């Protein structure tokens, strides 16, 4: 028997109800703010993702790439932003282009709790404006989304990577500094210290963490323009009442960031996999992908981790809802078949049992469906042209209703609740 591949999982009801509620909340929060849904292909020319930067693990080690039957070198998307920016370059929409997405992401990582080879993100991108108030809008909406699904134990870390020039100058300064301390770093981080110095700041290895504690900080190297951008972002978050902490060592795992970068962490999750969403500005990415220069800002948030955090905080629990009506037919099945559809076509949720089972067996299914009302049809009802209506919640007995009136009767009762 086959199993789902390592690092992937099936999302089944009722867990998928919570998933849908999460996505609906995301669509609502971002829809209200003028963001439209964007759907991109699940795979792209591998070059699209290589522009994320050779310094990132995602590109160097984790890509699911393949040759198709026409010998094109393609890759499954490891994240959402590169495809959205590629689509922006291709279609040249009016700016700012504000979009949101829901996408699986594929990364060949070592699976563990909260870390998958196929995970899913909801995310948003706003492209074509360098206004720091757009950073504030995106961060503020991300914050409000978590709040709307009931998460409260979250912290937000914020940093600035400066302008592309600041970032480059800082990386060079850091490389020189790391070179002097090379022998003290954990061996596994030494190659990065030479080739991708910023990545060393991400390291969780004890020896390295101790060394980089005194490394120069990017926020001490910001140009006036980048410092003003960062100030405006902080002022905006203060005005919105979004709490944050400046973390000058937050560099994040992707190479395209400039100016604001941030990450939300869930206090209810263990620290290794507690990031429930991160983002930043990527003012050079459109150009790196062959388009005209276009600044952009956005974030991605991992659905699996948000649901883990929701479990821990008892949030998103109100999603399972029984059907309005369950139809039980032990008189041949025609009424059961037709009445469920009549109810549905009149705007009610309705379900039924199959396989011509006994009254007792069908009532068991009705109970499991948590239906508000049951409609029962047996030989007596068939003879009388009626349906028996039973209130399953109040247990207040049952009444006979003429078959022709029963849909209106149930609708009226549901209406009056």
Work out which of 18, 229, 259, 305 binds ligand HAM, going by CB under 6 A.
305
The span of 40-48, 109-117, 216-224, 323-331 binding ligand HAM (CB under 6 A) equals 109-117
Work out which of 57, 135, 283, 304 binds ligand HAM, going by CB under 6 A.
304
In whole angstroms, what is the distance from residue 389 CA to residue 377 CA? 9
Tally Cβ neighbours within 10 Å of residue 115. Answer: 16
**Under the criterion CB under 6 A, does residue 259 sit at the interface with ligand HAM?**
no
331 near 382, Cβ under 8 Å?
yes
Work out which of 115, 153, 190, 413 binds ligand HAM, going by CB under 6 A.
115
252 vs 390 by CB, closer to ligand HAM: 252
Closest separation in Å from C-beta 158 to ligand HAM: 14
114 vs 284 by CB, closer to ligand HAM: 114
Closest separation in Å from C-beta 277 to ligand HAM: 5
The residue sitting closest to ligand HAM, measured at its beta carbon, is 302
**Which residue intervals of 281-374 are DSSP H helices?**
285-288, 303-313, 334-345, 359-368
Closest separation in Å from C-beta 275 to ligand HAM: 4
Closest separation in Å from C-beta 54 to ligand HAM: 16
CA 239 to chain centre: 26
The span of 43-51, 114-122, 193-201, 391-399 binding ligand HAM (CB under 6 A) equals 114-122
Mark residues 328-367: x for contact with ligand HAM by CB under 6 A, - for none.
----------------------------------------
Start-to-end C-alpha separation, the chain = 48
Which two tokens mark 263? 């990450």
CA 66 to chain centre: 26
62 near 107, Cβ under 8 Å?
yes
Which two tokens mark 97? 């282009």
Under DSSP, the state recorded for 203 is: -
In whole angstroms, what is the distance from residue 353 CA to residue 358 CA? 10
**Under the criterion CB under 6 A, does residue 278 sit at the interface with ligand HAM?**
yes
In whole angstroms, what is the distance from residue 272 CA to residue 270 CA? 6
Q: Which of 72, 74, 71, 50 minimizes the C-alpha distance to 61?
A: 50
Work out which of 50, 103, 121, 340 binds ligand HAM, going by CB under 6 A.
121
Judged by CB under 6 A, the chain residues 53 through 92 that form the site for ligand HAM are: 79-81
Closest separation in Å from C-beta 105 to ligand HAM: 7
86 near 104, Cβ under 8 Å?
no
* Beta strands 386-391; 350-352: pairing state: unpaired
251 vs 366 by CB, closer to ligand HAM: 251
**Under the criterion CB under 6 A, does residue 277 sit at the interface with ligand HAM?**
yes
**Under the criterion CB under 6 A, does residue 280 sit at the interface with ligand HAM?**
yes
170's CB contacts (< 8 A; 6+ apart) are 162, 198, 216, 218, 221
Q: What totals of helices (H) and strands (E) does the chain contain, helices first?
A: 16, 16
259 vs 403 by CB, closer to ligand HAM: 259
Work out which of 146, 298, 352, 362 binds ligand HAM, going by CB under 6 A.
298
400 near 384, Cβ under 8 Å?
yes
**Under the criterion CB under 6 A, does residue 125 sit at the interface with ligand HAM?**
yes
Work out which of 53, 123, 132, 197 binds ligand HAM, going by CB under 6 A.
123
Contacting residues toward ligand HAM, per CB under 6 A? 79-81, 107, 109, 114-116, 119, 121, 123, 125, 253-254, 275-280, 282, 298-302, 304-305
């Amino acid at each position: 028997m086959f199993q789902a591949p390592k690092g992937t999982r099936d999302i089944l009801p009722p867990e998928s109800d919570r998933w849908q509620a999460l996505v609906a909340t995301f669509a609502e929060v971002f829809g209200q703010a003028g963001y439209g849904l964007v759907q991109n292909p699940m795979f792209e020319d591998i070059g699209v993702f290589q522009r994320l930067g050779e310094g990132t693990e995602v590109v160097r080690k984790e890509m699911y790439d393949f040759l198709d039957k026409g010998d094109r070198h393609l890759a499954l998307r490891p994240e959402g932003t590169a495809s959205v920016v590629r689509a922006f370059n291709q279609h040249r929409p009016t700016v700012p282009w504000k979009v949101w997405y829901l996408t699986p992401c594929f990364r060949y990582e070592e699976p563990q709790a909260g870390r998958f080879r196929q995970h899913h993100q909801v995310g948003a991108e706003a492209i074509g404006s360098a206004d720091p108030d757009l950073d504030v809008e995106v961060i503020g909406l991300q914050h409000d989304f978590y709040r709307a699904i009931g998460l409260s134990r979250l912290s937000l870390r914020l940093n600035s990577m400066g302008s592309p020039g600041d970032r480059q100058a800082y990386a060079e300064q850091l490389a020189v500094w790391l070179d002097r301390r090379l022998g003290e770093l954990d061996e596994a981080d030494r190659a990065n210290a030479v080739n991708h110095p910023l990545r060393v700041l991400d390291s969780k290895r004890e020896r390295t963490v101790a060394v980089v504690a005194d490394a120069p900080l990017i926020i001490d190297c910001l140009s006036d323009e980048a410092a003003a951008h960062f100030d405006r972002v902080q002022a905006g978050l203060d005005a919105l009442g979004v709490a944050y902490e400046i973390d000058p060592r937050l560099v994040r795992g992707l190479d395209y960031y400039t100016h604001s970068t941030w990450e939300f962490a869930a206090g209810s999750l263990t620290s290794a996999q507690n990031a429930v969403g991160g983002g930043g500005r990527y003012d050079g990415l459109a150009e790196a992908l062959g388009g005209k220069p276009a600044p952009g800002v956005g974030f991605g948030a991992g659905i699996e981790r948000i649901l883990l955090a929701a479990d821990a905080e008892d949030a998103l629990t109100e999603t399972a809802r029984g059907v309005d009506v369950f139809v039980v037919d032990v008189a041949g099945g025609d009424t059961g078949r037709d009445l469920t559809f009549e109810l549905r076509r009149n705007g009610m949720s309705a379900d039924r049992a199959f396989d011509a089972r006994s009254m007792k067996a069908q009532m068991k299914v009705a109970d499991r469906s948590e239906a508000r009302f049951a409609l029962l049809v047996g030989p007596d009802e068939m003879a009388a042209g009626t349906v028996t209506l039973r209130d399953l919640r109040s247990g207040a007995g049952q009444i006979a209703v003429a078959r022709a009136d029963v849909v209106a009767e149930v609708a009226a009762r549901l209406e009056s609740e």
